[in-house]
Amino acid sequence: MADYTGPLPVPSPETKPFWDAARRHELALPFCRPCGAFFYYPRGACPRCLSPDLDWRAVSGRGTLHTFTVVHRGQKGFPLGVPYVIAVVELEEGPRMMTNLVGITPDPSAIRIGMPVEVTFLDATPGATLPHFRPVGSAS
Ligand SMILES: [Zn+2]
């Protein structure tokens, strides 16, 4: 278990399946049955067709880096320490997800927009696991 002191998710009925999947080290997204498409963030109806006919499905955990920023002045006690990378990842299945990019030097010269990334899971507490992303092939 990581020595985690940061904020923890507070699952709602709409987000509980996401956090439950993360605890199993799976990345799962809401899927609209009528549209046949994934979306993110979780909500009670599809953002395209407003259907409540939703399902949760595991996704590949792979994507590309859409954008990022390096944070040099974080909040006191934030577990990643500074500097760290906040990123938006475009998943293979389409949706974009805000996350942390780990396993790379937190320096803009080391990070490329469009680089392939994959999910990795931080077991923050026995009840909470946080999906982060790392460059494909990195060790952490
Ligand atoms: Zn839909």
Residue 3 has pLDDT above 90, yes or no: no
Question: Comparing 7-16, 71-80, 114-123, which segment has the lowest mean pLDDT?
Answer: 71-80
According to DSSP, the residues that pair with 96 across neighbouring strands are: 90
Residue 67 has pLDDT above 90, yes or no: yes
The dihedral through the CA atoms of 137, 129, 42, 99 has a sign that is negative
Is-contact 60 73, C-beta < 8 A?
no
Ligand 1 (single-atom ion) residues, CB below 5 Å: 32, 34-35, 46, 48-49, 51
Ligand 1 centroid – CA 37 distance (Å): 7
Ligand 1 centroid – CA 105 distance (Å): 39
Report the predicted TM-score, pTM, of the whole model to 2 decimal places: 0.91
Ligand 1 centroid – CA 45 distance (Å): 8
* pLDDT computed for residue 1 by the predictor: 59
> What's the average model confidence in pLDDT over 101-124?
96
The dihedral through the CA atoms of 7, 124, 111, 97 has a sign that is negative
